[in-house]
Amino acid sequence: MLPVDVILWIVLGVVVLVSGVTVAVVVSRRRAAELERRRREELPAAPSAPTPTAPEAPAAEAPSGTIAPTPAAPTTEEPEQAGTRMARLRRRLAGSNNVLAQALLGLISSDRLDADTWDDFEATLIGSDLGVGPTTELVDTLRRELSIDGVADPTRAREVLHRELVRITDPTLDRALNLDAADGLPAVILVVGVNGTGKTTTVGKLARLLVAEGRTVLLGAADTFRAAAAEQLQTWGDRVGVETVRGAEGADPASVAFEAVDAGVEKGVDVVLIDTAGRLHNKSNLMDELGKIRRVISKRAPITECLLLLDATTGQNGLIQARVFNEVTDVTGIVLSKLDGSAKGGIVVQVQRELGVPVKFVGLGEGADDLAPFTADGFVDGLLGE
Ligand SMILES: Nc1nc2c(ncn2[C@@H]2O[C@H](COP(=O)(O)OP(=O)(O)OP(=O)(O)O)[C@@H](O)[C@H]2O)c(=O)[nH]1
């Protein structure tokens, strides 16, 4: 039998040993856990496995209390009818030609019509770009009639002047847009002219006029030279809910024109309006390009109207342009733009005489509906401020 104190020492030793082992195990586990935590923290985030996502909730299902954005309703403008715009624009024409009208009426209503008075009258007419031929014609007729009647009656003088101006502006010309397309095809209107005459603006204004008449329209932006032109045209179209076919900047204008006409045929629209880049009439390569545009379009649908844009403020230069364009593109109608800023309305008469082509529209301002169908009577009323 072991002595008691030895047994006590053995028990104490076992207790110390067990405690030591227990502490060592706990400490080593904690250290392992700590090391594992640190290791995880130092690792870059692993890509998580793709989890199927629910389709995006529509805006309408936004949680209550927030206002879901609603798409803006497309708004299109209602263009002014041709009839109502005439009276408004006639006043503008009268305003811009006030000096000319006053000069003509003043001269013709004077007490004595001597040689000097007729010379002044003639010079005023030529200064308004009426041209030598029409001026001589007008002066001869007035001299004859008024020397018979005398000039004491200004109302009579005014009447004769009005009648003769209408006559030389030729009220018999057919000024309606030719929209007679072949069966199932749209009417195709090609718009040409030198730089900055107002082609893009006029195509936009014409689209509005046609929409106001209840026609369906498609625009073709064949001005691929100036990037902003297609943008500008599309803005015009968007305003009245009309589609625009565009090409990339620098694209072949003939192919864009073809695509526009093709889209017009497919969609069954009434009219396709084609805007072209401005070109100088003395650049033969650009004029050849116009010939190509015409040929390519005609493979899809006949061109029913080719409108030449002339800036009324450019005077005689406009006439030279008109002659060259007419040779290349067979112009069927003239649009005289910027007549609001010109006291040279006489160009209407001269250009019609030179080309044998009627003026069909006049631009009388920068406003969206400042384009009016031309009539000889309305023009002369505006010219004489009536
Ligand atoms: N006052 C006035 N300005 C006009 C009229 N028509 C067009 N304009 C202005 O003339 C400028 C040129 O018009 P655009 O339509 O860009 O001319 P464009 O012929 O297409 O020009 P390019 O493509 O560079 O050849 C613009 O500032 C128009 O607002 C008009 O009848 N009266």
Give 51 Cα–ligand 1 centroid separation in angstroms.
58
Whether residue 311 lies inside any domain: the answer is: yes
Q: Is ligand 1 within 6 A of the CB of residue 200?
A: yes
To which residue do tokens 């002659």 refer? 323
When pLDDT is averaged across residues 170-193 and rounded to a whole number, the result is: 94
Which residues make beta-bridge pairs with 311? 337
Share above pLDDT 70 across residues of the chain, in percent, rounded to a whole number: 78
Whether residue 181 lies inside any domain: the answer is: no
Whether residue 231 lies inside any domain: the answer is: yes
Q: ipTM of this model? A: 0.97
- Which atom of ligand 1 lies nearest, measured to the CA of 309? 19
Confidence (pTM): 0.78
Does the annotation list 337 as a binding residue? yes
Nearest CA to ligand 1 atom 7: 198
Residue 119: CB atoms within 10 Å: 12
Read off the pLDDT band of 266 (50, 70, 90): very high
Kind of pairing between the strands at 217-222 and 243-246:
parallel
Whether residue 281 lies inside any domain: the answer is: yes
Read off the pLDDT band of 284 (50, 70, 90): confident
Cβ atoms of 303 and 181 within 8 Å: the answer is no
Cβ atoms of 364 and 93 within 8 Å: the answer is yes
Condensed to tens digits (0 to 9), the pLDDT of residues 336-364 reads 999 887 777 788 899 999 899 999 999 98
3-state secondary structure (DSSP) of residue 271: strand
**Ligand 1 pocket, mutate which of 88, 224, 366 (most atoms under 8 A from CB):** 366
Domain limits for position 263: 187-331
The C-alpha angle with vertex 229 and arms to 223 and 234, in degrees rounded to 5, equals 105
Burial 9-23 (b: 16+ CB within 10 A, else e): eeeeeeeeeeeeeee
Condensed to tens digits (0 to 9), the pLDDT of residues 23-35 reads 555 545 555 545 4
Does the annotation list 117 as a binding residue? no
Kind of pairing between the strands at 217-222 and 271-276:
parallel
Cβ atoms of 329 and 306 within 8 Å: the answer is yes
CATH of the domain at 239: 3.40.50.300
Whether residue 66 lies inside any domain: the answer is: no
Give the DSSP letter string of 163-214: HHHHHHH-TTS--S----PPTT--EEEEEE-STTSSHHHHHHHHHHHHHHTT
Whether residue 253 lies inside any domain: the answer is: yes
Give 229 Cα–ligand 1 centroid separation in angstroms.
11
Whether residue 51 lies inside any domain: the answer is: no
Domain count, the chain: 1
To which residue do tokens 């990037």 refer? 227
Does the annotation list 277 as a binding residue? yes
Burial 79-98 (b: 16+ CB within 10 A, else e): bbeeeebbeebbebbbebbe
**Ligand 1 pocket, mutate which of 88, 201, 281 (most atoms under 8 A from CB):** 201
3-state secondary structure (DSSP) of residue 57: coil
Does the annotation list 279 as a binding residue? yes
Whether residue 321 lies inside any domain: the answer is: yes
When pLDDT is averaged across residues 298-303 and rounded to a whole number, the result is: 96
Q: Is the confidence at residue 234, as pLDDT, over 80? A: yes
Distance CA 137, CA 140 (A): 5
